[in-house]
Amino acid sequence: MTGSTALLTDRYELTMLDAALQDGTADRECVFELFSRRLSGGRRFGVVAGTGRLLTLLRDFHFGEDELRSLADNHVVSASTMSFLENFRFSGTITGYREGELYFPGSPILTVEGTFAEAVILETIALSVLNHDSAVATAAARMSLAAGDRPLAEMGARRAAEYSAVAAARAAYIAGFDATSNLEAGRTWGIPTMGTAAHSWTLLHDSEEEAFRAQIAASGVGTTLLVDTYDITTGVETAIRVAGTDLGGVRLDSGDLPIVAGEVRAQLDALGAAKTKITVTSDLDEYAIASLAASPVDAYGVGTSVVTGSGYPTASMVYKLVARQDTDGAWVAVAKKAQDKASLGGRKAAFRTLERGKATSELVAVSDGFEKVQTAADHPDARALQVVFVDHGEIDAAHEGVDGTAAARAHHAMVREELPVRGLALSKSDPVIPTVFVNAK
Confidence class for position 381, pLDDT limits 50, 70, 90:
confident
This prediction's pTM? 0.96
Quick one: average pLDDT of 104-133? 98
Judge if 117 and 234 occupy the same domain. Answer: no
Dump pLDDT digits (tens) for 43-77.
999 999 999 999 999 999 999 999 999 999 999 99
Q: Is the Cβ–Cβ distance between 240 and 273 less than 8 Å?
A: yes
Do 180 and 256 share a structural domain? yes
369 pLDDT more than 70 = no
Write the CATH number for 166.
Answer: 3.20.20.70
Question: How sure is the predictor about 401, in pLDDT bands with cuts at 50, 70 and 90?
Answer: very high
In the sheet with 249-252, reading across from the earlier edge strand, the strands are: 179-180, 152-154, 299-302, 277-280, 249-252, 224-226
Residue 137 sits at the vertex; the CA angle it makes with 290 and 280, to the nearest 5 degrees, is: 35
Residues 152 and 299 in one domain: yes
Alpha-carbon distances of 274 from 216, 242, 267, rounded to whole Å = 19, 16, 9
pLDDT greater than 70 at residue 441: no
- Give the number of domains in the chain: 2
- Residue 176 sits in which domain range? 148-307
Say if 141 falls within a structural domain: no
pLDDT at 390 over 80: yes
* Structure confidence by residue, pLDDT tens digits, 330-339: 999 999 888 8
Task: State yes or no: pLDDT of 371 exceeds 70.
Answer: no
- The mean of the pLDDT values for the chain is 96
> CATH code at 70?
3.20.140.10
* Average pLDDT estimate for 284-310: 97
**Sign (positive/negative) of CA torsion 346, 351, 353, 359?**
positive
What gap in Å lies between CA 263 and CA 279, rounded to an integer? 14
Q: Which long-range contacts (CB under 8 A, 24 or more apart) does 279-284 make?
A: 279/153, 279/224, 279/249, 279/250, 279/251, 279/252, 280/251, 280/252, 280/253, 281/155, 281/251, 281/252, 281/253, 282/252, 282/253, 282/254, 282/255, 282/257, 284/143
Q: Does position 1 have pLDDT exceeding 70, yes or no? A: no
Residues 6+ apart with CB under 8 A from 309: 40, 135, 136, 138, 139, 315
Q: Is residue 3 part of a domain?
A: no
* Whether residues 435 and 337 fall in one domain: yes
Residues 203 and 302 in one domain: yes
* Sequence-distant (≥ 6) Cβ neighbours of residue 234 within 8 angstroms: 208
Inter-residue contact 298 to 249 (CB < 8 Å): yes
In DSSP terms, 224 is beta-bridged to 249
Residue 38 belongs to a domain? yes
Domain boundary among 259, 285, 307: 307
What distance in Å separates the CA atoms of residue 23 and residue 43, rounded to the nearest whole number?
Answer: 44
Instruction: Please return the burial class of 306, using the count of CB atoms within 10 Å of its CB with bins 0-12, 13-18 and 19+.
Output: buried
For residues 273 and 239, membership in a common domain is answered with: yes
Q: Is residue 33 part of a domain?
A: yes
**One domain for residues 400 and 421:** yes
159 and 116 fall within a common domain: no
Contact 385, 351 (CB under 8 A): yes
pLDDT digit string (tens) for 312-357?
999 999 999 999 999 988 999 999 888 888 889 999 999 999 999 9
| 2 is a domain residue | no
pLDDT at 370 over 80: no
Q: Quick one: 355 and 302 in the same domain?
A: no
Closest Cα partner for 24 from 412, 371, 355, 327?
Answer: 327
Is 282 in the same domain as 328? no
How do strand 435-439 and strand 358-367 relate by DSSP bridges? Answer: parallel
Point out the domain boundary residue: 272, 307, 342. 307
> Does residue 6 belong to any structural domain of this protein?
no
Looking at the fold, whether 294 and 166 belong to one and the same domain comes out as: yes
Same domain, 49 and 91: yes
Residue 205, in any domain of the structure = yes
Local structure of 122: helix, strand or coil: coil
Cα–Cα distance, 32 to 94 (Å, whole number)? 10
Q: Looking at 282, 307, 332, which one is the last position of a domain?
A: 307
